Chain A
Amino acid sequence: MAEYKKPTNPAEFAANFSPKKPLMSDTEAYYESSRCLYCYDAPCINACPTGIDIPLFIRQINDGNKEGAAKTIYESNWFGHACGNVCPTEELCEGSCVYNNSDVKPIEIGRLQAHATDQVIRSKKKLFRTGKDTGRKVAVIGAGPAGVSCACELRMLGHAVDIYEAKAKPSGLCVYGVAPYKLTNEEAVDEMAYLQEQFGFTIHYNKPVTGRAELDKLEKDYDAIFIGIGLGGTSALGIPGEDKKGVIGALEFVEGLRNMQHKTAVGNKVIVLGGGNTAMDAASESCRMGAESVTIAYRRGPEEMGAYSFEFDLAKKSGSKALFNVTPVEFIGNGAVTGVKFIRNRSAYGKIEAIPGSEFVEECDMVLLGTGQGKQVELLEQISGVKLDQKSRILDDRGRIVVNEHYQTNNPKYFAAGDAVNGGVEVVNAAAEAKKAAHGIDQYLKK
């Protein structure tokens, strides 16, 4: 089946993971931008969580004002380049382009956006001035899309910002979790360097904030604290054999792949558990790593998958097969995993129930769990534990941080946005929320 040969060197890896949305040349951008109708109150703007004035930036590309285009993009979204590449544009801006209503190909907004921002990132063109120094300091925990977006906006408002990042690189899931055919490490890191150069916030790498003592220090040293820690690692399924060799989290697999590239270990027969976008990414990537067979297994039907249909299509195009209405009950193997025992499901009144006696074993030598990320509850509970009584919790029942419309937690000094609050959506959602959170912090600091 394998359409992809196992990559053995960086060039082969790059070929297998060639960009899904390659950077546009000037000519392509010119022709594509010429097609935009410049709709009134354009649906694409309203479909964008950050509300980028898309027809305006496309017009600016078309009339030779690419710096203006980049500025239009960044004014609304500090992750403009990353989002141009990783956003599910088919579901957002491009999905709402009016051309879809007349069977004309929608404008390639994501690629135009990446084209405009790429120009200023490469030329290091400074587009923004930071605000007048307010003398206030904000600590940001996490240098992912939420944390960095919040930092940029806070600098625009004149507040000093220190970011504390657990890992060695910025950009969070853009570097550690996004499929490499959507965004390369270099692209993600270059955009971060571009933003940091303009905004002058500090990032302390390899500085995880994990305990009460660190929180105490932050609270003492800073006027406000922003939590942009995202989600935790892949949650355990809680079925027998989960500790067998070869059973790993899909997210961890993607993270490994982004750093190890062609040296990443991948099985010959891979089973990916889950129906979300991370599961689809893991399946596509396993195919591109040269796995002989890749099977997505999901406990409900295809129409109930959480993944966008275009992500499922991409996984299928890469060579994945799919099993629906199956629940894993046990990982089989003597030390290393050799198969997954499933039971078939049927749905009744919107719920699924196992069909007795329908168990079967699907052979494999690797299982990727795309079954959801855990929450970083431990740290968050320590915030609430000190400052709040039992009733005003900082977390909801699903472990998400509870915030008001200014993204302020029940502890007024703490603000939060991104996956830790919304439960895990897109980079663009984190960018949109964190920008609002920065304004919430600004208001709080002015009081």
Chain B
Amino acid sequence: MADLRTNLAGIKSPNPFWLASAPPTNSGYQIMKAFDTGWGGAVWKTLGVPVVNVSSRYGSVNYRDKRMVGFNNIELITDRPLRDNLREISEVKKRFPDHAVIASLMVETREEWHNIVRDVENAGADGIELNFGCPHGMCERGMGSAVGQEPKVLQTIVEWVKEVAKIPVITKLTPNISDITRPARAARVGGSDAISLINTIQSIVGVDIDNFVPYPIVDGKSTNGGYCGPAVKPIALNMVKNCAQHPEVNLPISGIGGVENWRHAVEFILLGATSVQVCTAVMHFGFGIIRDLKSGLERYMDEKGFTTIADFRGKALPNVKHWEDLNLKYKVVASINKDKCIGCQLCYTACDDGAHQAIALSSDPTDRIPSIIEENCVGCNLCSLVCPVEECITMERRDDGKQFINWAERTAAGHIPKTFDDELAGGLHHWVPEPAEALAKKKPRHYKG
């Protein structure tokens, strides 16, 4: 039976699912409700000198009828007095002693940092998260991502915190930087016990095209926000991987960014995370999603024979290589299952217009099942990605599996194209239609002009 208990740098929780520091952790009421529903931990909405917020705070990216595949906010840190938050932290800890309560903090001076760290420790927090990520509002005041983007400043503040902190310190990183491992290494040098990433990405989610103002609109004006939700997960996974693989970072990771179901959590853990933090999915569907997160993770672990989170943490990392290390002899081609094909021909048009002209239509117009032209297929996967039917287009291996050569080896052997018309060009003998063939092709009858 899977044991979901988690220990991140000494912060223990009954499961790896934490609420990220955000609107769902604004109050003790919400966090008690979350713990009661099954969440393992919560990072309190960032504490500091209370702010004044604007009205109209969130914007969304919808894809067709799917709401909030991307989400942004221009809300700042807590607008509630510190004493209220501290009292509620104590109350939550008293009622849920085994759950993780992490205090997210953002202040300016060394003295403020020292005071607030002591305050939250006295209130009973299990850990501290340093908010060096907020990409709007706070950074204009020299805090948030303004710190996260300056590794030297980040390191100094981590050092100030560590001067007094007795509980574990997590440094939360901003993705608004070209190399995420630089602030991660600075956190390490400064003495941070763990890192969490990613904070939100600077964004404009859309523009009101009738009034010429981006969203969210505050009295006819807008500002950039912080982007999160399912759309940012690929960026977060890559940054988690970068930190997990870097030998000089070597810190436990709390993964954040677009986690909505157990599968996403598994992905973060496989790339090196110990816990995951969730915000947008809760803002969309409520705390109840924890039931699916836990049951899915347990089922997965049982099926794979993993007893603890540590059993599979980072298990995908050895399989993430540089491009130059990939096997150039590996060869897959697409295969269409004629019994499953429904005849939408999306694969045909995707390949013909967007890829390598390797899918043909039948000359019989009543037969709508396309066929793969194997000699043209480069194995790009596009057709299998656009196909709306599960397992209809699959990529079949065609090399014998015995040969291996990668770009690094070819470079070392001098066996790579070096001139513009080099005979070693990868696509030299790949069939490409003549340009004018595009005009001779029969068009569907409704394509006009």
A123, CB-defined interface residue at 8 Å: no
B427, CB-defined interface residue at 8 Å: no
A14 vs B116: C-alpha distance in the bound complex, in angstroms?
70
B343, CB-defined interface residue at 8 Å: yes
User: Which of B139-147, B187-195, B228-236, B344-352 makes up part of the contact surface?
Assistant: B344-352
**Contact flag A51-B446 (CB < 8 Å), given A30-B65, A34-B64, A40-B349:** yes
**Contact flag A40-B348 (CB < 8 Å), given A98-B342, A98-B343, A101-B342:** yes
A31, CB-defined interface residue at 8 Å: yes
**Contact flag A102-B389 (CB < 8 Å), given A34-B65, A40-B444, A62-B64:** yes
A45, CB-defined interface residue at 8 Å: yes
A43 vs B345: C-alpha distance in the bound complex, in angstroms?
10
- Interface code A75-93, partner B: CB below 8 Å = 1, 0 otherwise? 0000000000000000000
Q: B446 touches which one: A30, A34, A45, A101 (CB < 8 A)?
A: A45
When C-beta atoms are compared, the residue in chain B nearest to A64 turns out to be B209
Is there contact, CB below 8 Å, between A99 and B345? no
Which of chain B's residues have a CB closer than 8 A to the CB of A190?
Answer: none
A30 vs B64: C-alpha distance in the bound complex, in angstroms?
8
Which of chain A's residues have a CB closer than 8 A to the CB of B445?
Answer: 45-46, 51
When C-beta atoms are compared, the residue in chain B nearest to A104 turns out to be B342
A425, CB-defined interface residue at 8 Å: no
Which of chain A's residues have a CB closer than 8 A to the CB of B365?
Answer: 46
A37, CB-defined interface residue at 8 Å: yes
Contact residues of A: prevailing secondary structure: helix
Which of chain A's residues have a CB closer than 8 A to the CB of B345?
Answer: 39-41
**Contact flag A56-B446 (CB < 8 Å), given A37-B344, A39-B345, A41-B345:** yes
A53, CB-defined interface residue at 8 Å: yes
B50, CB-defined interface residue at 8 Å: no
When C-beta atoms are compared, the residue in chain A nearest to B442 turns out to be A41
A34 vs B64: C-alpha distance in the bound complex, in angstroms?
5
A99 vs B365: C-alpha distance in the bound complex, in angstroms?
18
Which of chain A's residues have a CB closer than 8 A to the CB of B341?
Answer: 101
B417, CB-defined interface residue at 8 Å: no
Which of chain A's residues have a CB closer than 8 A to the CB of B389?
Answer: 102
A14 vs B430: C-alpha distance in the bound complex, in angstroms?
66
Is there contact, CB below 8 Å, between A39 and B346? yes
Which of chain A's residues have a CB closer than 8 A to the CB of B444?
Answer: 40-42, 45
Is there contact, CB below 8 Å, between A43 and B343? yes
Is there contact, CB below 8 Å, between A53 and B346? no
B206, CB-defined interface residue at 8 Å: no
B368, CB-defined interface residue at 8 Å: yes
A46 vs B368: C-alpha distance in the bound complex, in angstroms?
12
Q: In residues 304-341 of chain B, which contact A (Cβ within 8 Å)?
A: 340-341
A30 vs B345: C-alpha distance in the bound complex, in angstroms?
24
Q: In residues 425-449 of chain B, which contact A (Cβ within 8 Å)?
A: 444-446
Q: In residues 14-58 of chain B, which contact A (Cβ within 8 Å)?
A: none
Is there contact, CB below 8 Å, between A31 and B346? no
Q: Which 3 A-B pairs have the closest CB atoms?
A: A34-B65, A40-B345, A101-B342
Residues of A whose CB lies within 8 Å of any CB of B are: 30-31, 34, 37-43, 45-46, 51, 53, 56, 62, 98-99, 101-102
Residues of B whose CB lies within 8 Å of any CB of A are: 64-66, 340-346, 348-349, 365, 368, 388-389, 444-446
Beyond the given pairs A37-B344, A46-B445, 13 more chain A to chain B contacts, judged by CB atoms under 8 angstroms and listed by A's residue number, are A30-B65, A31-B65, A34-B64, A34-B66, A39-B343, A39-B344, A40-B345, A40-B346, A43-B343, A45-B444, A98-B342, A99-B342, A101-B342
